[in-house]
Chain A
């Protein structure tokens, strides 16, 4: 006989019981001393996908060129060889149908991981994402839920043609019902992919393509998740908080080291990593400690996620502030072609200026 209380019990590995399948392999990454492998960020994505495909038969990967070709960035390389064409699926060229069919797959009990080849090409899927993926839980009053992932390479800095360099995270963050994460390290890439796949709600994983092969690090071989909703303090500091995510994390860290060495300014670099939900506690604690802040992102300034961070600081730590919070962002203009990208993207010079402005004001 079934009772109401039974419904609250964990159903273990039963993937069909979506609510209870938020299993997390929580390992303490800082204390981890098990076997590791040296991976780039894109290999971290691939490793995360491979482990999830192996762990749960309901996981499928679908998108344009993800199968035979292994993805245009090789994020799904050899996965079709390993799991077959029914688990790693080459689709016709249709972003709306890739996301729309993923919604249907998730409704049926599958756990789809859809790839949008570039964020600049994801717009045809926007209706499916915001009208349906984001809203299925609420418009069915919790009856239908969508454990699905949509991966999108995003951002500039690779001298790509038009429509290959956009950072449109703000539009997605603004949609109640969607979660949005963006890894900036190989370790986070693997762990956030795993967390996204196991999450009961739709998660958009924005992958900074400029960092896909920028550096490698030792990543735990075993499965683990990086919790969605938690920022990562990449560098602790006392003087000023620098909030960023994705590809901008690298120049932010470089600037922090420079400022420490040359100016004696101790910068705390916070990689927000989960843009929705935002880690309000970490933002507040950091600013309450430093009293100064700057936000860096590649997307245009107006109504960027940086504005949400500043508003959050105002709500949570206004009386701790010793200076206005500065924003270092892309301009309110389309991302330029390669010859002018260095002037558009928030690179070291502009970040340094932004931090100094927050410190010296």
Chain B
């Protein structure tokens, strides 16, 4: 019996996307689907999840706006994908490690990163890459799929050091499943049976490449069979279903039943409602109404409706949360934009000890700055 058979769920009554075989708990109107059970989350935890979702949605909107104003560099929007990101991180314990990509802003925040630090590197300050000591997360991965074998290795290393209470959750997209690193990483994870959860955020698009052209298989999850690991498909716009599925995978990774393998491949079915990035124009390759049916599956609204139905949330509390979110983001943006950096920082953290040549290059640069001033470097000469 699969771990996931224990999660009571049912199929969507409307055979729209995501596919019917994906685990769901909430209907789009926020009601529990027949036979579905609320995951083991308290009212307080559900409200925390909700606030995290509202924050993610507003961060996405603010970041997109900041990019348009030229205040941050290229940004990868996550609209429609926040629910899965937040819920997967909620399913982790603090000891567990997160291996995120460039789109997983909300997953990072929900596992302890600050939006201030994420905005810092978006604004061009490498200072934002610094992961605090008490947050178990790797820096974001921009090359596609390369993190999969690394995540496996991280989990492998913990088991080698008898740290059996740690699991590693690795994010990637549908495009990544075409890479060799995806295959190699999954195979290693299964062969060495390491405590790992591989979450494919199948948002149906790899820039302009639709899912059906990316792979000849109907699903991502069926690829799990090729590695001998368990696969589960979940409605990625249903935060409670994603939480339940991921939580079960985390528990299994750390405490497998007799004969159970630790790794899980989760296909979280979502839709990239926005562009690949702020540098991308989807009108070049998809119709405006493409993905329209996913608009009704807004993860933020879905959880919100559930919380209203259950009388966990009311208008006053929602307003209070909205105000807190705006304050939080305003402070994060203000602080990120006030970052002070120095050209000398380019030479830091290349090695534990800078090489003689690096010291010499830094000294040369400092000399030029002293003689000519920093403004002189802005003259590109074109």
A301, B355: Cα distance in complex, Å:
13
- Interface-central residue, B176, B355, B382, by most chain A CB under 10 Å: B382
In the complex, are the beta carbons of A343 and B346 less than 8 A apart? yes
Closest to A69 in B: B208
In the complex, are the beta carbons of A70 and B74 less than 8 A apart? no
- Interface-central residue, A68, A334, A337, by most chain B CB under 10 Å: A337
In the complex, are the beta carbons of A332 and B350 less than 8 A apart? yes
A250 within 8 A of B: yes
In the complex, are the beta carbons of B180 and A338 less than 8 A apart? no
In the complex, are the beta carbons of B280 and A72 less than 8 A apart? yes
How far is the CB of A94 from the nearest CB of chain B, in Å? 5
A350, B382: Cα distance in complex, Å:
14
How far is the CB of A150 from the nearest CB of chain B, in Å? 17
A116, B329: Cα distance in complex, Å:
37
A162, B74: Cα distance in complex, Å:
10
**Could you give, for residues 286-302 of chain A, a 1 whenever the CB lies within 8 Å of some chain B CB and a 0 otherwise?**
00000000000000011
CB neighbours (8 Å) of A162 from chain B are 142
Given the known A-B contacts A214-B382, A336-B346, A343-B343, are A161 and B73 also in contact in the complex, defined by CB atoms under 8 Å?
A: yes
In the complex, are the beta carbons of A349 and B377 less than 8 A apart? yes
Contact of B358 among A65, A333, A340 (CB under 8 A): A333
Contact of A93 among B179, B285, B372, B381 (CB under 8 A): B179
Closest to A161 in B: B74
A307 within 8 A of B: no
In A90-104, which residues have CB < 8 Å from any B CB?
A: 90, 92-94, 96-97
In the complex, are the beta carbons of B346 and A347 less than 8 A apart? no
Contact of A348 among B123, B355, B381 (CB under 8 A): B381
In B162-208, which residues have CB < 8 Å from any A CB?
A: 175-176, 178-181, 206-208
Report the count of interface residues on A (CB-CB < 8 A): 52
How far is the CB of B367 from the nearest CB of chain A, in Å? 9
In B99-152, which residues have CB < 8 Å from any A CB?
A: 102, 121, 123-126, 142-146
In the complex, are the beta carbons of B102 and A161 less than 8 A apart? yes
A162, B280: Cα distance in complex, Å:
17
In the complex, are the beta carbons of B176 and A336 less than 8 A apart? no
A332, B349: Cα distance in complex, Å:
12
In the complex, are the beta carbons of B382 and A72 less than 8 A apart? no
In the complex, are the beta carbons of B357 and A338 less than 8 A apart? no
CB neighbours (8 Å) of A345 from chain B are 380
Task: Spell out A's residues near B (CB within 8 Å).
Answer: 64-65, 67-70, 72, 90, 92-94, 96-97, 120-121, 123-124, 157, 159-164, 214-215, 250-252, 254-255, 301-302, 331-334, 336-340, 342-345, 347-351, 353
24 contacts between A and B (CB under 8 A): A68-B284, A70-B284, A72-B207, A93-B145, A93-B176, A94-B179, A94-B180, A159-B124, A164-B142, A301-B361, A302-B357, A333-B347, A333-B350, A336-B345, A337-B121, A338-B124, A340-B124, A340-B341, A347-B379, A348-B381, A349-B376, A349-B379, A350-B368, A353-B368
User: Known pairs A65-B285, A90-B208, A92-B178. 20 more at Cβ < 8 A?
Assistant: A64-B206, A68-B284, A68-B285, A92-B213, A94-B179, A121-B143, A124-B143, A159-B73, A161-B73, A250-B381, A250-B382, A301-B357, A332-B355, A332-B358, A337-B124, A339-B124, A339-B125, A343-B365, A345-B380, A349-B377
* Top 9 A-B pairs, shortest CB-CB distance: A251-B381, A348-B381, A338-B124, A69-B208, A93-B175, A92-B178, A254-B381, A339-B124, A343-B343
